[in-house]
Amino acid sequence: MTIKTNSLKLNTNKNFEIIDITSRINEVIDIEDGIISIFSKHSTSAIVVNENESGLLKDLELVLNNLIGDEFSYEHDRIDNNAKSHLKSFLLSSSECLPIKNGRLDLGTWQSVFFIELDGPRHGRTISLTIIGE
């Protein structure tokens, strides 16, 4: 069994941005079979797996904004005025653990891996990758 670590760096351009990182992850996989842990090291971002369809991605932003809107006064805003970003991150996930088969992510037909920026734009976002396998 082999354990390897790697990371991806991202710059984001918008306050809310969904970036498909599937191909970047596949580029660093150097084992045939195993699993990969994909972890965002930021509490105002998320890692998710879903379909890369533009309407669905816009719908996600709409739903998150409707659930966590501007009409509330958030306690965390007294610190750095980004409570909405943190709260949206709570609803999503900071990581995914996915299978690797034949040297690539073993995703479903329509699935992609996304980094979701919730408090951008930001420079140097870090995604940790831990690969376990043979």
**% residues pLDDT > 70 (the chain):** 100
Q: Domain residues for 47?
A: 2-69+79-133
pLDDT tens figures, 12-65: 999 999 999 999 999 999 999 999 999 999 999 999 999 999 999 999 999 999
Tell me, yes or no, whether 129 lies in a domain: yes
Evaluate whether residue 74 is within a structural domain.
no
110 lies in some domain: yes
Provide the CATH number for the domain around residue 112. 2.60.120.460
Residue among 14, 5, 6 nearest 116 (CA):
14
Residues 60-73 have pLDDT tens digits of 999 999 999 889 89
Q: Using an 8 Å Cβ cutoff, are 12 and 121 in contact?
A: yes
